[in-house]
């Protein structure tokens, strides 16, 4: 039997609540004929204790700014979360931050677990279900994202807390399993969290020694506790996952700890409470079966034929626990905030803007305008100049690079920018180390905490961050991913450092906006567009080498970036041929255009920094840029040609990469692969029958 947590509590009610979580999970998986009952069964005592005894969370207002965060990194155990969100009667909130007056997860949602439109999907989904702090499922993502949440709390506290006004003092609790511990992203994130001394962060490791293929001893025999000691974490242990007294004790130790994150090793047996079937199937994707369900419920002292039963007193017990505690904490905070607003009105206004994902007045003031210059400026250089303006105008914009700040030009160098470190949590320069995957998840954690955050590396290494980038799109959060060295500009380093397929792969992610600006002023306009996004992540892809800064008195204004594509040159009348380009190839298209015009060919240049933005424009606008009658079209991009056929059609041509690159100076590579004006002109003549 589970022991009662704390003093003056009702052990029978505690046990009843725990078994309600277990049996709701069993019944949901059994009815769906799909899911993972074992982990919810074994971790029910932990989740009950954490939610009903410890967590500072108000079910009536699940987006209250100073709430504790709970992340279920082993997201296959989602029935744990759906059960507790239902039993606490957590309320649903819409995208306008309005309370809908209905439960986030109803009993019918649980009955329809893993079914279409149910608020109890197979894995936790942010924005689909209120009370979910992060979408999880790909193992390791949740724990890594929680590091970003912990960084955000430290930064918010440093900027906004004042004597007598602890506006941000929440904590982050993350439950994870063996799979999370094996994934490399977790190691990257844990190493950084230890370095930063994030004592507001607690990972609870379900040490059940089971994965899909069997006992972990076939692949995973390291001393995990020793590993986290080496990372600089405080490591605690609970030898029995059903010992709620010990669970609450270690969580108290975490809350009172200073200077280090906490790692709790929770020893459990998968499917605890099941009489016969305590194996990998119960943990990883198989229902127990009708007979085993009856035997398990009998072991719990539960009515064997009852389904989706919530006994009398369970809702009330959660209401008197987390409901009363969370409601009081939120009410106290709201009163404190009113007093804070009276004393610190400007800071209070910032807090409200952050929570609503709004921008401060004048956020785009003083953005640079770059004069025409044939020698030009690298995309990364222009980006660095813009970032240093925006970060001063938007206090909650912060970020950094995966050890490439000086090369990515992401360092914030203005006075007072500072570095985020254990001793300086107000710094706005984040140093992620050579940890691209964790960087992506940490950026997501910061964005989930409502800060505007960016992470940067070379474009070719976006592969290492791709799973986190994909999750940002699924969650619809405005994460910013900056990539430099976008093509063959890093020539001598060779094909390992020359991204070829990466633009196509990012463009394939639904909901992600990819921007590849063609000169310094397009970089400015790209940022102007990005900063106004509230629910879309962005990949901004920038050049290493200098690009000519176009004369905007002669060519169209760079503000056309906001449309995804625009007529840069040759907009008068109907063209004979259209040259479409992005990034470093825009100036190449302009040079070819000028040569074609001299030959008497009506040419048009379309700068297309973003397919996604352009595709969302009206049909009329798209037709004005790319007239359907004009079938002679050439797309020019130092990347894989995949996908460009949608813009050039069957009659058009794509000058792009059909192999990997090579190691050589840039000019030689451009000559070899056809990225020169004369070669573009030759293709244009051929298409027009004037070869």
Specify the 3-state DSSP secondary structure of 203. Answer: strand
Angle (nearest 5°) at CA 533 between 532 and 537: 140
Please state the rounded mean pLDDT for residues 359-387. Answer: 97
**Residue whose tokens read 């592969």:** 463
Centroid of chain to Cα 610: 20
Spatial separation of the C-alpha atoms in residues 205 and 631, rounded to whole Å: 59
Query: If you average pLDDT over residues 655-659, what whole number do you get?
Result: 95
Q: Which of 563, 571, 577, 575 is nearest to 636 (CA)?
A: 577
Q: For residue 669, how many C-alpha atoms fall within 13 Å in the half-sphere facing its CB? A: 22
Average pLDDT, the chain: 94
Which domains, ranges and CATH numbers included, belong to the chain?
11-330 (3.40.50.970), 373-548 (3.40.50.970), 562-687 (3.40.50.920)
- pLDDT per residue over 611-620, tens digit each? 999 999 999 9
**Rounded percentage of the chain residues whose pLDDT exceeds 70:** 96
- In this structure, what token pair is assigned to residue 96? 């306008």
* 605 membership: H or E segment, kind and range: strand 603-607
| DSSP H or E run through 44 | helix 38-49
Of 209-223, 298-312, 398-412, the least confident? 209-223
Q: Quote the tokens at residue 498.
A: 């020359």
333 burial type by CB count under 10 A (0-12 exposed, 13-18 middle, 19+ buried) = buried
Residue 276 above 80 pLDDT? Answer: no
- Please tell me the predicted confidence (pLDDT) of residue 74: 96
Q: Whole-model pTM?
A: 0.96
Strand partners, 549: 373
Which of 443, 478, 512 is CA-nearest to residue 145?
443
**Of the ranges 92-96, 243-247, 452-456, 472-476, which one carries the lowest mean pLDDT score?**
92-96
Between 207-211, 428-432, 485-489, 513-517, the lowest mean confidence (pLDDT) is in: 207-211
Q: Can you tell me which residue has the tokens 């997201």?
A: 75
Distance CA 41, CA 132 (A): 20
| Residues 568-612 pLDDT 10s | 999 899 999 999 999 999 999 999 999 999 999 999 999 999 999
pLDDT digits (tens, 9 = 90+) for 91-128: 999 988 899 999 999 999 999 999 999 999 999 999 99
The more confidently predicted of residues 667 and 88 is: 88
Q: What is the CA radius of gyration of the chain?
A: 28
CB 27 within 8 A of CB 307: yes
The residue behind tokens 């792969």 is 505
Pairing of strands 452-458, 397-401: parallel
Report, as residue numbers or ranges, the catalytic residues: 436
Q: Does residue 285 carry a pLDDT above 70?
A: no
Residues 6+ apart with CB under 8 A from 298: 275, 304
What share of the chain has pLDDT > 90, as a percent?
91
Asked if pLDDT for residue 273 goes beyond 50, the answer is: no
- pLDDT band of 271, cuts 50, 70, 90: low
The confidence score (pLDDT) of residue 1 equals 33
Task: Please determine, for residue 3, whether its predicted confidence score (pLDDT) is greater than 50.
Answer: no
pLDDT, residue 621, reads 98
pLDDT class of 491 with cuts at 50, 70, 90: confident
């Amino acid at each position: 039997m589970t022991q009662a947590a704390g003093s003056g509590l009702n052990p029978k009610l505690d046990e009843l609540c725990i078994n309600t979580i277990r049996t709701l999970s069993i019944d949901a998986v059994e009815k769906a004929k799909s899911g993972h009952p074992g982990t919810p069964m074994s971790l029910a005592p932990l989740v009950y204790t954490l939610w009903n005894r410890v967590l500072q969370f108000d079910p009536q207002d699940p987006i209250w700014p100073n709430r504790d965060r709970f992340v279920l990194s082993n997201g296959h155990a989602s029935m744990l979360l759906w059960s507790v969100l239902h039993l606490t009667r957590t309320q649903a909130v819409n995208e306008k931050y309005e309370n809908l007056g209905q439960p986030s997860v109803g009993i019918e949602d649980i009955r329809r677990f893993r079914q279409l439109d149910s608020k109890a999907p197979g894995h936790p989904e942010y924005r689909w279900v209120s009370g979910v702090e992060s979408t999880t499922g790909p193992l390791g993502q949740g724990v890594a994202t929680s590091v970003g949440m912990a960084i955000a709390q430290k930064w918010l506290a440093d900027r906004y807390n004042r004597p007598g006004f602890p506006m941000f003092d929440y904590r982050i609790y993350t439950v994870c399993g063996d799979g999370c511990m094996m994934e490399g992203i977790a190691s990257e994130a844990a190493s950084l969290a230890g370095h930063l001394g994030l004592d507001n962060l607690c990972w609870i490791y379900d040490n059940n020694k089971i994965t899909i293929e069997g006992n972990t001893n076939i692949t995973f025999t390291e001393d995990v506790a020793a590993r986290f000691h080496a990372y600089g974490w405080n490591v605690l242990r609970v030898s029995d996952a059903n010992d709620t007294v010990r669970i609450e004790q270690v969580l108290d130790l975490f809350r009172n700890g200073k200077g280090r994150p906490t790692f709790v090793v929770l020893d459990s047996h998968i499917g605890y409470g099941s009489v016969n079937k305590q194996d990998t199937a119960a943990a990883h994707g198989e229902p127990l079966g009708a007979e085993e369900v009856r035997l398990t419920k009998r072991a719990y002292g539960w009515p064997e034929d009852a389904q989706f039963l919530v006994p009398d007193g369970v809702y009330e017990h959660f209401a008197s626990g987390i409901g009363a505690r969370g409601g009081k904490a939120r009410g106290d905070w709201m009163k404190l905030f009113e007093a804070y607003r009276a004393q610190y009105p400007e800071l209070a206004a910032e807090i409200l803007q952050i929570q609503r994902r709004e921008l401060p007045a004048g956020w785009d003031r003083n953005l640079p305008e770059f004069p025409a210059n044939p020698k030009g400026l690298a995309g990364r250089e222009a980006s660095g100049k813009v970032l240093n303006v925006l970060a001063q105008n938007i206090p909650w914009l912060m970020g950094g690079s995966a050890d490439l700040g000086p090369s990515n030009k992401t360092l914030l160098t203005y006075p007072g920018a500072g570095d985020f470190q254990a001793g300086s949590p107000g710094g706005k320069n984040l140093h992620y180390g050579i940890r691209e995957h964790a960087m992506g998840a940490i950026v997501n954690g910061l964005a989930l905490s409502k800060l505007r955050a960016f992470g940067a590396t070379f474009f070719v290494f976006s592969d290492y961050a791709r799973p986190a980038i994909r999750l940002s799109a699924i969650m619809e959060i405005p994460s910013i991913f900056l990539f430099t060295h976008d093509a063959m500009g890093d020539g001598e380093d060779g094909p390992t450092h020359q991204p070829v397929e990466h633009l196509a792969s990012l463009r394939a992610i639904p909901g992600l906006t990819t921007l590849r600006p063609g000169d310094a002023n397009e970089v400015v306009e790209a940022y102007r567009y990005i900063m106004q996004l509230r629910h879309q992540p962005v990949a901004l892809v920038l050049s290493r080498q200098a690009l000519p800064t176009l004369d905007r008195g002669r060519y169209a204004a760079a503000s056309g970036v906001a449309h995804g594509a625009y007529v840069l040159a040759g907009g008068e009348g109907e063209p004979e041929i259209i040259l479409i380009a992005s990034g470093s190839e825009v100036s190449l298209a302009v040079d070819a255009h000028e040569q074609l015009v001299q030959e008497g060919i009506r040419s048009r240049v379309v700068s297309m920094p973003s397919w996604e933005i352009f595709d969302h424009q009206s049909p009329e606008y798209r037709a004005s840029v790319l007239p359907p009658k004009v079938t002679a079209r050439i797309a020019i991009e130092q990347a894989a040609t995949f996908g460009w056929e949608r813009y050039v059609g069957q009659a058009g041509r794509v000058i792009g990469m059909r192999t990997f690159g090579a190691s050589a100076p840039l000019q030689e590579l451009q000559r070899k692969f056809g990225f020169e004006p004369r070669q573009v002109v030759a293709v244009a003549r051929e298409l027009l029958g004037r070869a």
